[in-house]
Amino acid sequence: MSTPIEPGVILRDRYKIRRIIGQGGMGSIYLAEDIRLEGRQCALKEVQHESSLPEDTLQQAQDQFLREAQILARLDHPNLPKVSDFFSEENREYLVMDYVPGEDLRTLMIEARRKKTFLDEMEVLDWSVQLADALEYMHQQDPPILHRDIKPSNLKLTPSGLIKLVDFGLVKLMASEEMTITILQGRGTALYTPLEQYGGDTGHTDVRSDIYAFGATLYHLLTNSAPVEARERFLRPESLIPPRQINPAISGRTERTILWALKLHPDERPQNIDEFRQSLVGKGNPITQHRQQLPQPSIADLLNTPIDRVLVALAVLMLIVTLLVTLLEGL
């Protein structure tokens, strides 16, 4: 891998590098300032090609990046960062995306684990609905787009409460005849990777591969423990601990859906995101459903504090006065 770009360097006469905000096996992600649009910050996703590649192979990789970057730039969804530009410099390709402020869900999970607690299930389900919407949008493109690297660190929670699926590093386009092409060679993160993805680009992955990673991500967020890798589970099927054995507060419905998504064979998983989402939360918003299920406060509940007792007493007094006035007017 070549040396990361130093802060202060300007790429394409427009993007001034501020700092590295992420690194991977094929390049870095930089926070940059768009000097043409004062005050705008963006994220530059870098893809590096091996300089030893034959010239025709390198040209093929660059052409492929161009085709797929054009498709990514057309995506427009509130839970996906907008790709606004793409370019090449010195055997490096760059996607320019919106910079997403906030913490990633891995950081929030680690903080919960440090406090010896768990993330709230209803909050995680709300995030899941947003992620499901983004994935459904990607899967419904023509050709369908697979993410192939869903994990807590690739999900950022913005200050406004939006979840953003931020990394398109292993994105894959599915051609109609089921031939596939990818922006990056890679297999994702092992903890969240289904068996069929271990073949790299020779294996057959489809929307059910993203569903597996989705389920593995939920398992990790709700238990503070990563699921056992698919390869180990293939050899020892009993090695996956059911989520509720780790966090008893998880609902049975959530546990069943997670374990369904984590089936080793794709045919045994939910077959699309909508099926997965309905199993997880039904057709409505999980937060709204949860609130509707809460019991309504009784009179005894309203009298739990001195100020509540005063307010209730005043309301009763006003009711009595109103009744007296009504009776006197009728005499």
Q: Torsion angle, CA of 146/173/271/75, rounded to 10 degrees?
A: 60
Tokens (6 digits) for 39: 């005050």
- pLDDT given at position 89: 85
DSSP class of residue 42 equals E
Q: Can you list the residues of the chain whose pLDDT is less than 50?
A: 170, 175-187, 202, 288-308, 310
At 180 the three-state DSSP class reads strand
- pLDDT given at position 70: 84
**Residue 239 and residue 173: Cα distance in Å, rounded?**
33
Please, how many CA atoms are within 13 Å of residue 149, restricted to the half-sphere of its CB? 20
Read off the pTM: 0.78
- pLDDT given at position 284: 61
- pLDDT given at position 8: 96
Crossing angle (nearest 10°) for helices 207-223 and 252-261: 140
The per-residue pLDDT for range 22-74, each reduced to its tens digit, is: 876 678 889 999 999 999 999 998 888 777 778 888 788 788 788 778 888 88
- pLDDT given at position 293: 44
The residue behind tokens 């398992």 is: 219
- pLDDT given at position 177: 39
Are 220 and 256 contacting, i.e. CB atoms less than 8 angstroms apart?
A: no
Task: Give every CB contact of residue 93 below 8 A, 6+ residues apart in sequence.
Answer: 46, 47, 48, 49, 62, 65, 69, 86, 87
- pLDDT given at position 60: 80
Indicate which residues carry an active-site annotation.
149
Residue 66's φ and ψ, nearest 5 degrees, are -60, -45
Topology of domain 10-98 in CATH is: Phosphorylase Kinase; domain 1 (3.30.200)
**Residue 147 and residue 206: Cα distance in Å, rounded?**
10
Pick the CATH number of 103-291 from 3.20.20.30, 1.10.510.10, 3.30.70.100, 2.30.42.10: 1.10.510.10
Q: Which helix (H) or strand (E) holds 73?
A: helix 55-73
Give whole-number Cα distances, 46 to 19, 87, 141, 173, 184, in Å.
13, 10, 24, 19, 11
The residues spanned by each domain of the chain are: 10-98, 103-291
